[in-house]
């Protein structure tokens, strides 16, 4: 019901106030570029959401020992402190498995090789260009389908 009402309202706006409505919609799109821009310097803070204490011989603990977690994920598990570390037997040692969430605290868009770039940046420029071209082709294709 809400989507249908919004669609009718938008159609009414476009029929009565076409230039103004288009200007507002373009403004919304340009304003959203700040959020969806692929090249951004992002600062995160790690928040430990859950701590589970297991024996060091636990399969989950062994997996984390053998394969360190990818800390670039929004949420991941890592090994915490080992209790009974002085024990001679691994079966007696316990380890904390922490569930960590990366919370975004700051995001600054930049243009690769120009505005806001920092030394050591390695942006995927071709991936961004290809994404832009795919978006343009999709909009053009939808426009052609609409005209038929």
Residue 148: inside a domain, yes or no? no
pLDDT above 90 as % of the chain: 49
Residue 14: inside a domain, yes or no? yes
The residue-averaged pLDDT of 93-119 equals: 85
Strand partners, 120: none
Number of C-beta neighbours around residue 116 at 10 A: 13
The pLDDT of residue 116? 67
Residue span of the structural domain in which 25 resides:
1-36
Residue 147: inside a domain, yes or no? no
Confidence of residue 148 (pLDDT cuts 50, 70, 90): confident
Say how many domains are in the chain.
3
Between CA 16 and CA 4 the distance in angstroms is: 18
Same domain, 51 and 69: yes
The CA distances from residue 89 to 59, 85, 86, 92, in Å, are: 16, 9, 9, 6
The residue-averaged pLDDT of 4-30 equals: 94
Between CA 128 and CA 121 the distance in angstroms is: 15
The pLDDT of residue 16? 96
Same domain, 126 and 88: no
48-72 burial, b if ≥16 CB within 10 A, otherwise e? Answer: eeeeeeeebeeeebeebeeeeeeee
pLDDT above 70 as % of the chain: 97
At residue 117, does pLDDT exceed 90? no
Same domain, 99 and 66: yes
pTM (2 d.p.): 0.56
Same domain, 67 and 87: yes
Between CA 56 and CA 105 the distance in angstroms is: 34
Between CA 107 and CA 9 the distance in angstroms is: 34
Residue 146: inside a domain, yes or no? no
Asked whether 79 and 52 are in contact (CB, 8 A), the reply is no
Number of C-beta neighbours around residue 98 at 10 A: 19
Q: Which of the pair, 126 or 115, is modelled with greater confidence?
A: 126
Between CA 127 and CA 143 the distance in angstroms is: 24
Between CA 131 and CA 139 the distance in angstroms is: 12
pLDDT digits (tens, 9 = 90+) for 37-76: 888 888 899 999 999 999 888 899 999 989 989 988 999 9
Residue 130: inside a domain, yes or no? yes
């Amino acid at each position: 019901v809400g989507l249908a009402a919004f669609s009718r309202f938008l159609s009414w706006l476009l029929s009565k106030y076409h230039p103004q409505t288009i200007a507002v919609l373009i403004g919304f799109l340009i304003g959203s570029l700040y959020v969806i821009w692929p090249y951004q310097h992002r600062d995160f803070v790690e928040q430990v959401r859950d701590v589970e204490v297991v024996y060091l011989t636990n399969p989950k603990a062994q997996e984390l020992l053998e394969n360190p977690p990818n800390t670039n994920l929004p949420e991941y598990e890592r090994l915490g402190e080992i209790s009974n570390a002085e024990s001679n037997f691994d079966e007696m040692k316990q380890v904390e498995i922490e569930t960590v969430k990366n919370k975004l605290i700051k995001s600054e868009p930049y243009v690769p090789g120009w505005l806001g770039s920092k030394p050591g940046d390695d942006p995927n420029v071709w991936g961004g260009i290809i994404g832009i071209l795919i978006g343009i082709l999709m909009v053009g294709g939808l426009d052609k389908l609409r005209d038929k």
